[in-house]
Amino acid sequence: MKYPKPLKPGATIGLVCPSSAISPEREAQCKAVIEQLGFKIKAADNLTSNLAGYMAGDGETRGKWINRMFSDPEVDAIFCIRGGDGGSRSLEYLDLEMIKKHPKIFVGYSDITSFHLLFNQICNFVTFHGPMVSSNMIEDFDDESKSSLFQALNAETPYEFQNPQGYELQVLKEGCAEGMLTGGNFALLGASLGTPYEVDTRGKILFIEEVGEAMSRIDRLVYQLKNAGKLKDCAGILLGQFTKCLNYDMPGYTELNIFQEALADIPIPVMYNIQSGHGNPNMTLPFGAHCMMNTSTKSICFDKIER
């Protein structure tokens, strides 16, 4: 699995909206924050487009802009402006053979999960589940989230993932495991089943996060993946932020209870409280990188970085 080239000061970042759009005022703020970080900008022209109230233009437009950013020799990295909805419409327009030949830093989360799966599993390069420009960098780009992002993007030697101060990694099931890191947003992982980019968990570490889903929906997703064989196939599981995922009828029964019950007959390690997802701070994970998890030391490490 190829690790993209590091992001150097003064590099050019391509800004894309693969899913939902932003306002013109927000676009100006996004460009300003990237410039303040010391980078140049190339921006897609659909950032403020609005189709059906929830998409940044049609799927072809969004897909072709991603193609252009990967093929443009002046663009060093691609940052997603935000997630949202409708990203799946653009997948059929991606030129995966071209993208495979031009691996670059690609950062995003949430609805961007489908793109991570494609680029990891088909194009064979590492992508980054981390902060997006409009969603995280304008108001809430705290020092720990920023440090985590650039540590992941520029890693040259094996490194250990660090949660923010005050957030201890927790253990749901004991054990050690290693394998390629995959995953993302729970709803998108479920939606991938039966598609060309279906999540492949065989021998891998599976990361899962979610936002705004009722506990009954979380239950359905857990057993959808279990019944599809995705949980028994993986080497271990990392649970990220489950933001605003509430159980109004029985508040003490959470996603941890559901996973514990679903995994009772599956002997794999599980860690939780990984601060990555829809919350703040939002730490960065390199999808496609070789991951080692150890519940005894409560550690998550990445190695075998090849550029």
Contact 233, 182 (CB under 8 A): no
Residue 246 neighbours by CB distance under 10 Å: 12
Q: Give the span between the Cα atoms of 42 and 187, in whole angstroms.
A: 31
- Catalytic entry in 116, 129, 278, 290: 278
Q: Quickly count helices (H) and strands (E) in the chain.
A: 9, 14
194 Cβ neighbours under 8 A, 6+ residues apart = none
Q: What angle do CA 295, 4, 193 make, to 5 degrees?
A: 60
- 306 given a catalytic annotation: no
- Catalytic entry in 27, 144, 178, 209: 209
Cα distances (Å, whole numbers) of residue 118 to 82, 125, 287: 18, 10, 11
- Catalytic entry in 110, 114, 135, 145: 110
Rounded to the nearest 5°, which phi and psi values hold at 170? -120, 160
- 290 given a catalytic annotation: no
The alpha-helical segments, DSSP class H, found in 9-109 are: 24-36, 59-71, 96-101
- 209 given a catalytic annotation: yes
Enter the tokens of residue 48.
């403020």
The alpha-helical segments, DSSP class H, found in the chain are: 24-36, 59-71, 96-101, 113-121, 143-153, 186-192, 215-227, 230-233, 255-262
Query: Which residues are catalytic, by number?
Result: 110, 209, 278
